[in-house]
């Protein structure tokens, strides 16, 4: 197990962090299976009124480490276990973290644009970002690893299709965060696969995109209040 942790330190650290935070949520809510909305909001879930009116933008960070129930946590952590290790094989540690966090942040913005009056939480956007990054990697090197690239793209299309069906069937699933994270991860994965040294340029562009998104979100929110 120690060897496995040393090989994939970021993936296992993220799984551990999410799991520990869920234990705190569980203790505060008094429920192992489902976390009540108030506890989620108190611990930092996405909630546009607090973020915009009280400048609580730190919720973009905390929300991607929170989960609404045991099933939500287990599904996301199993996905992270499968996808994260693959991403950690192909990207540097700094690239991995950048892809994960920016996909999570901008996936959260996508969720806020679509659901500015609801509570949002979960690592799904960030995890889909890693999946998108792997797609970007295989596309960038499709000529060198053609066989593996084709196999991955088939799996990629299948998982996207399943996700769309689940999203349409279960209203609680926030497809917008998934799609937002996926797109950001794909773009980042393709760029950083071709030009790893561009990580700082990529990060600056993502920060600028976050700033622009926050301004647009504020404008959109106040337009509804008028």
Catalytic, 178? Answer yes
DSSP the chain: -HHHHHHSHHHHHHHHHHHHHHHHHHHHHT-SSB--HHHHHHHT-B-HHHHHHS--TTHHHHGGG--SBHHHHHHHHHHHHHHHHHHHHHS-HHHHHHHHHHHHHHHHHHHHHH-TTS-B--SHHHHHHHHHHHHHHHHHTTTTTHHHHHHHHHHHHHHHHHHHHHHHH-TTS-HHHHHHHHHHHHHHHHHHHH-GGGHHHHHHHHHHHHHHHHHHHHHHHHHHH-
Exactly one of 29, 178, 193, 213 is catalytic; name it. Answer: 178
The token pair at 121 is 């939480």
Q: What are phi and psi of 69, to 5 degrees?
A: 180, 170
Contact 121, 174 (CB under 8 A): no
d(CA 122, CA 44): 11
Exactly one of 108, 111, 124, 193 is catalytic; name it. Answer: 124
Catalytic, 124? Answer yes
Catalytic residues: 124, 178
């Amino acid at each position: 197990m120690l060897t496995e942790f040393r090989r994939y330190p970021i993936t296992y650290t993220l799984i551990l962090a999410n799991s520990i935070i869920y234990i705190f949520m569980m203790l505060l809510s008094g429920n192992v299976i489902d976390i009540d909305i108030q506890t989620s909001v108190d611990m930092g879930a996405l909630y546009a009124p607090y973020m915009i009116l009280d400048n609580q933008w730190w919720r973009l960070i905390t929300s991607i480490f929170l989960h609404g129930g045991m099933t939500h946590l287990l599904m996301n952590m199993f996905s992270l276990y499968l996808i994260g290790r693959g991403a950690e094989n192909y990207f540097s540690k700094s690239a991995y973290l950048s892809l994960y966090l920016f996909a999570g942040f901008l996936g959260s913005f996508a969720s806020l644009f679509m659901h500015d009056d609801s509570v949002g939480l979960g690592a799904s956007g960030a995890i889909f970002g890693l999946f998108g990054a792997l797609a970007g990697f295989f596309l960038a090197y499709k000529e060198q690893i053609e066989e593996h690239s084709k196999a991955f793209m088939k799996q990629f299309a299948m998982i996207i299709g399943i996700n769309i069906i689940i999203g349409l069937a279960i209203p609680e699933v926030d497809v917008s965060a998934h799609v937002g994270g996926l797109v950001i991860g794909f773009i980042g994965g393709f760029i950083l696969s071709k030009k790893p040294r561009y990580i700082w340029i990529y990060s600056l562009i993502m920060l600028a995109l976050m700033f622009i998104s926050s301004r647009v979100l504020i404008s959109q929110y106040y337009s509804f209040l008028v």
